[in-house]
């Protein structure tokens, strides 16, 4: 089908204000890197999302679900497919007793603030993770000893065929930075969190302490995608990189953070090729020096 017909179908489904062509992805990732996506769509509802997936299936279009773009490196060539952003339009948060029901596009920081307001504990670890609920569920995001699997009760997803499923915590098959959502390419619609009543001031104190640790130790003032590498069993990626003498090491505009060696940062003009080259050099040197294989935690989108 001709591209303008596909564009028309997307516009009829979402309204033209929510459809963009050749959208620069550097505007939508925390790395501030990435070429144009063929189509960039912002649905408001599950029904609109189902229709988008149907159009993609019928026209053999690849698609990618984007949240806050906080754990993503997009190719300099962009993405030949459909980027579907579930963020501001898809971010409702509802609380009832000890349960918070969260749409996939809600920022974790907003969910943690809601939990604090309701004196609910268990979400503190995620208060500073710069992602959305959908991405956090898919990757079983974690920090400071907590993981999403600790607080998930159930998750509603769309299959790639557009079927709605509600999965229990056990059916989510959570592992380290993975889940059945990642394994099967499902799309997270919402998640139900089971928290516990706590003392609001104690919850606030823990969140403030974790924020202080982040501000002190992480390069939050520079564009990055968070922790670049997964934690190798028995080691810390940042320490291995530091001990390999790579603090501040650069390839083009990409640099190992001088503040925290687990982060690759964009000094201002980095390309995806720079980041990929830096990741490869780090993997090579750490493997040579310590015999440890570092695996990227960052997701890659497009042709590299």
pLDDT block averages, 10 residues each, the chain of length 304: 83 96 97 98 96 96 95 97 94 96 96 97 94 95 93 96 95 95 96 98 96 91 94 95 97 97 96 98 98 96 96
Cβ atoms of 95 and 105 within 8 Å: the answer is: no
d(CA 291, CA 297): 19
Question: What is the model's pLDDT at position 10?
Answer: 97
Question: What is the model's pLDDT at position 96?
Answer: 96
Cβ atoms of 148 and 142 within 8 Å: the answer is: yes
CB atoms within 10 A of CB 122: 19
CATH architecture of 91-202: 2-Layer Sandwich (3.30)
Question: What is the model's pLDDT at position 4?
Answer: 76
Q: Is the pTM of this model over 0.85?
A: yes
d(CA 185, CA 64): 10
Residue ranges, CATH 3.30.43.10, the chain: 3-88
**Among the four given CATH numbers 3.20.20.140, 3.40.50.720, 3.30.43.10, 3.40.50.920, the one describing domain 3-88:** 3.30.43.10
Question: What is the model's pLDDT at position 196?
Answer: 97
**Among the four given CATH numbers 3.40.50.970, 3.30.365.10, 3.90.78.10, 3.40.50.620, the one describing domain 219-301:** 3.90.78.10
Q: Say how many CA atoms lie within 13 Å of 261 toward its Cβ.
A: 18
**Active-site residues: which are they?**
177, 227, 297
How far from 267 is each of 32, 57, 75, 92, 233, CA to CA, in Å? 10, 39, 17, 35, 30
d(CA 46, CA 134): 13
Residue ranges, CATH 3.30.465.10, the chain: 91-202
């Amino acid at each position: 089908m001709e591209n303008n017909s596909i564009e028309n179908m997307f516009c009829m489904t979402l309204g033209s204000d929510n459809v963009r062509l050749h959208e620069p992805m550097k505007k939508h990732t925390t790395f501030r890197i990435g070429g144009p996506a063929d189509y960039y769509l912002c649905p408001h509802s599950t029904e609109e999302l189902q229709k988008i997936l149907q159009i993609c299936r019928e026209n053999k279009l690849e698609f990618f679900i984007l949240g806050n773009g906080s754990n993503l490196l997009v190719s300099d060539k962009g993405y030949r497919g459909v980027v579907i952003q579930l963020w501001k339009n898809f971010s409702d948060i509802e609380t009832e007793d000890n349960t918070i029901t969260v749409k996939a596009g809600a920022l974790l920081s907003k969910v943690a603030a809601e939990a604090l307001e309701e004196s609910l504990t268990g979400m503190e670890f995620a208060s500073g993770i710069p992602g959305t609920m959908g991405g956090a569920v898919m990757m079983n995001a974690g920090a400071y000893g907590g993981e999403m699997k600790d607080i998930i009760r159930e998750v509603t997803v769309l299959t790639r065929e557009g079927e709605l499923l509600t999965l229990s915590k056990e059916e989510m098959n959570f592992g380290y930075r993975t889940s059945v959502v990642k394994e099967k390419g499902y799309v997270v619609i919402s998640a139900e969190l089971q928290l516990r009543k706590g003392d609001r001031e104690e919850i606030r104190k823990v969140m403030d302490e974790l924020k202080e640790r982040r501000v002190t130790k992480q390069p939050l003032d520079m564009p990055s995608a968070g922790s670049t590498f997964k934690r190798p069993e028995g080691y810390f990626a940042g320490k291995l990189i530091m001990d390999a003498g790579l603090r501040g090491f650069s390839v083009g505009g990409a640099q190992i953070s001088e503040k925290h060696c687990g982060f690759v940062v964009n000094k201002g003009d980095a390309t995806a090729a720079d980041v990929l080259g830096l990741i490869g050099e780090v993997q090579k040197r750490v493997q040579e020096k310590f015999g440890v294989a570092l695996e990227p935690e960052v997701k890659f989108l497009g042709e590299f």
